[in-house]
Chains A and B, each alone.
Chain A
Amino acid sequence: MTIKNRSKNNAFRLTRGDKLFVGSIYFMLVIIGLVLLIPMLNVIVSSFSSPKAVGAGKVTIFPIGFNIEAYKMVLANNKLVLGFTNTIIYTFFGTLLNIFITVLAAYPMSREDFAAKNIIMKFFTFTMYFSGGIIPTYLLYKNLGLVDSRLVMIIPGALSIYNMIVMRTFMQTNLPNEILEAAKIDGCNDFRFLSQFVVPLSKPIIAVIIMFYAIGHWNSYFDAYVYLSSESKYPLSIFIQTILGGLVTKGETVKNYEAAAQQEQYKDIVQYALIVVTCLPVWVCCPFMQKYFVQGVMVGSVKG
């Protein structure tokens, strides 16, 4: 009610200069929105267009010669199916481990009465600002036997300090101390309190953090590029990279793929289709998750 009144008030007070100003902002946002949207739209539309029209550079934001050949080719490609399977495995187990470790770190860090809190927090946050770098990390993984092991896609990066801080901040502000004290009086220990109260009450933030981690795994490329060498373990991103091109290609996949695609003229639209197929799972989740993502970032932006 009050909000409505206010916006009415504002509208009433708008002078001509204000109207001009606000109008130009709307206009600018339309332009910005289009600039952001058109590349994505063009990729999607091209993937559904005829290879001829794409090859001739005629496609902008409407499909020409609608067809789904490119998608049939993408889905018929064994390597891409393998990549999808691997990526799903890495994403599932990786995220499971992520969330487990993150909750275990975040909850004690949210407890005001935990004497070691500050010192452990410093131990954690220092790693956000300084790291050993890629070469010592590589040597460590080699010693741990993680090179060319599927575990290298799951275990490293299991705890993102940033996500842990977001979760801790949520717990600090959303779990009133009274619950803990009441539970303590009833003889509840910390482990039980974590599993029976903290986790259920933190569901909103856990969902957000799960999505952050899952998208990270889904999109991850560099670790696979550096550490994996057998094709059977490659995630989708490696196969995509070999098809979408660039200098740092791995192995002979490009040639094999082109043989599988058979017709050279389909190469262009297959690339477009591939981009769409990779982005789609995340984009489909996006509208439903947007509100929660935004909340997650907002919780994280509270300094702590």
Chain B
Amino acid sequence: MQLSSKKMEYQTLSLRSKYAKDFRKNWQLYVMVLLPVVYILIFAYMPMYGLQIAFRNYNALDGIMGSKFVGLMWFKRFFNSPWFWRYMRNTLAISVYNIALSWPLPIFLALCFNVVTNKIFKNSVQFISYLPNFISTVVLVGMVNVLFGSRTGLLGRTLEYISQGQVTNVLSSASAFRHLYVWSGIWQNVGWSTIIYMAALTSVSKDQTEAALIDGASRFQRVIHVDIPAIMPTMVIQLLLLVGSVLNVGEEKVLLMQNDLNLAASEVISTYSFKTGLLIGSGNYSFGAAIGFFNSFINLIVLLTVNKVSKKVFETSLW
């Protein structure tokens, strides 16, 4: 009785007085969090505010608000340009290829690690698999360049040998770009990505394992019926994150791997936005911003959609 009346009282308190009361009690927490909040406001939300130049004809003299409003002009120009579909196709091809590998492979590797009982063996393979994660993009691309150099590089030579001289100089081939981009990423991240699955696998209880053993499950059956269900929520979350960033092909690595000869396959929306906005000529800020906005907007929609679907189907979601 007392409880419910208290609850009522709490609910009738307006939001404002709730925060006023909390501020009197916890003002020091507000002071602490002030700097991070202001920081995020400036460095994350100000650019979002600045995104309106995508709908304006921005020039530096008039500033963001003073520049002429042009509606969807830049978006139309982008959609009607002959490049739109090519860049869209390149982006999706790289991204889907990447998801198709970078989602299942860490799961597979983690399940393998989990089967291994020899600690020293397991730790050494894990250690080796983590190392590439700490290589910077610049150095990774440098490694791809030296290793796939057809004259001297180990992998370039190997490819040439295996294909009996058919495959030479993959670095300057447009058709090889996707493979190089995705597989170098896999090489770099596959080990590190196993960690969250390993964490989920530690939650497999002894009882479950023993129950499976009593039922006469083989080690393989235990992987299928005990281990995989244990990591299922993590698998769904990871897939959500990957699909939710389907158009986010990072411009840094693509720009680093790009050359005149592979441009047909390597130009993606994010690099095109960057180049249009900042590099080509003196840079068309508004057009570049519009392309970038299109990219992140589609991404957000996809993320919201898959998150909702996943909430319904798997009862797992990001938030």
Contacts and interface: CB of A to CB of B under 8 A. Distances in A.
A40 interface: yes
Interface string B286-305: 00110011011001100100
B296 A43 contact: no
Contacts of B134: 215, 219, 279, 282-283, 286
B226 interface: no
Contacts of A139: 50, 53, 64, 285
A15 interface: yes
Contacts of B141: 244, 246
Contacts of B155: 39
Contacts of B113: 29
Given A124-B40, A140-B50, A190-B32, A226 B157 contact: no
B300 A130 contact: yes
Interface stretch (A64-72, A104-112, A199-207): A104-112
24 contacts: A22-B116, A22-B117, A32-B112, A32-B125, A33-B129, A43-B146, A104-B36, A108-B32, A131-B47, A132-B48, A135-B53, A135-B274, A138-B277, A140-B50, A156-B43, A159-B39, A190-B29, A191-B28, A221-B136, A244-B141, A247-B255, A248-B255, A283-B131, A298-B196
A125 B319 contact: yes
Contacts of B244: 129
Interface string A30-65: 101101111110110010000000111101100000
B26 interface: yes
Given A108-B33, A271-B146, A278-B136, A135 B127 contact: no
A57 B26 contact: no
Contact of B187 (A36, A191, A283): A36
A64 B131 CA distance: 25
A158 interface: yes
Interface string B45-85: 11111110100000000001000000000000000000000
Interface of B: 18-19, 21-22, 25-26, 28-30, 32-33, 35-37, 39-40, 42-51, 53, 64, 109, 112-113, 115-118, 121, 124-125, 127-132, 134-139, 141-143, 145-147, 151-155, 157, 187, 190-192, 195-196, 198-200, 206, 213, 218-220, 234, 237, 244, 251-252, 255-260, 270, 273-274, 277-278, 285, 288-289, 292-293, 295-296, 299-300, 303, 319
Nearest to A37: B128
Contact of B47 (A17, A56, A133, A272): A133
B35 A279 contact: no
A271 B51 CA distance: 40
Contacts of A286: 127, 130-131, 134
A38 B288 CA distance: 41
A57 B151 contact: yes
Contacts, number: 297
B33 A104 contact: yes
A271 B19 CA distance: 59
A275 B135 CA distance: 9
Nearest 7 A/B pairs, CB to CB: A132-B47, A219-B136, A136-B50, A133-B292, A244-B142, A115-B22, A105-B36
B28 A303 contact: no
Interface stretch (A6-14, A171-179, A256-264): A6-14
A116 B132 contact: no
Nearest to B152: A57
A275 B146 contact: yes
A43 B115 CA distance: 31
B179 to A, nearest CB: 15
Given A22-B219, A132-B48, A33 B128 contact: yes
B60 to A, nearest CB: 8
Contacts of B131: 36, 40, 283, 286
Contact of B112 (A10, A25, A55, A164): A25
Contacts of B136: 218-221, 237, 278
Q: Among A18, A102, A115, find the residue whose CB has the most chain B CB atoms closer than 10 A.
A: A115
A87 B51 CA distance: 31
Contacts of A38: 154
Contact of B30 (A13, A102, A116): A116
A248 B47 contact: no
Contact of B154 (A59, A101, A157): A59
